[in-house]
Amino acid sequence: MTDAAAAEPTQTDGPSELQAPAYEIFIGLLAVISLFNLAVSILPFSDIQKEIAKIVDVPLTMIFLLDFTSRLLRSHPKRVYFIEQRGWLDLLGSLPSFFRLFRIFRLVRVTRLLGEYGPRNILNSFVKNRADNALLVVLFMVLLVLEFGSMLVSFFEQQDPAANIKTGGDAVWWAFVSITTVGYGDQYPVTMGGRTMAVLVLATGVGLFGVLSGYLANFFLAPAKEDTDAAPTPEPASPDAAPTAAPASAGERAELLRIVEGLEADLNALRTRLASDPTG
């Protein structure tokens, strides 16, 4: 193989901007949720729904800021990401308020990068790194259930004057403690629709934290890749090396002694015949 061929990037390397495919999909889906929250804050939704969208957008903003910082630190030089790869749009999209509209550029970039990488390579990456991808899936599902569980339960509860989930903050707090299966009991649904949503949120929370527990157990108990790579491997036997004989059993030793004694007897008989031969 020539040096030029060796230096040529393969398709599995992916575009230089691409991080892990699962992470890029995670960021793209968060951008979709954020744009949905922006639409909720503009369109004629109830005040409770708008409050929920505003609360959920806080962790989304933090994740986008961390993503921008991580990409900027990984870029050498920094201007490659900030200018050539339009990282300044990521910075604007990481800000709250009306700057959230710029998050659509994250979605566009994720779609472009994954299209260049190819569906087969994306699937192979998912299979190869399925344990790490499980953490991203759990985090995304927690945010998804937190937002839409809060919105749906508040939709049902606000129709009952006896309900104790009255604000968007109440709904988000109830959804969070339900997902974590803690359930303090200070907020709870009283309508049939709200209780149906509670069943779904609780069942989803049990499944999500079961996956999270499995991931943490695998992370702390599985041997590190470096330890596996450093494990000594037996050297292959040289073709010139003599084979190592297995130790003989008692029966085999007795048979060998009998053969040696027979050879000695034949040798003695031959010596006697030679000694008695007058022509010798």
pLDDT attached to residue 271: 77
Write the CA distances from 203 to 150, 179, 206, integer angstroms. Answer: 15, 8, 5
pLDDT in tens, 14-55: 677 778 888 999 999 999 999 999 999 999 999 999 999 999
Check: CB of residue 197 under 8 Å from CB of residue 153. Answer: yes
* Type of residue numbered 45: F
Check: CB of residue 154 under 8 Å from CB of residue 161. Answer: no
Is 31 or 84 the better-scoring residue by pLDDT? 31
Domains delineated in the chain: 15-128 (no CATH), 130-220 (1.10.287.70)
Q: What is the mean pLDDT of residues 193-198?
A: 92
Does the pTM surpass 0.75? The reply is no
pLDDT attached to residue 193: 92
pLDDT attached to residue 227: 57
pLDDT in tens, 156-192: 998 888 888 989 999 999 999 998 878 777 888 999 9
pLDDT attached to residue 48: 92
Res. 146 pLDDT band, cuts 50 70 90: very high
Token output for 92: 């604007």
pLDDT attached to residue 231: 55
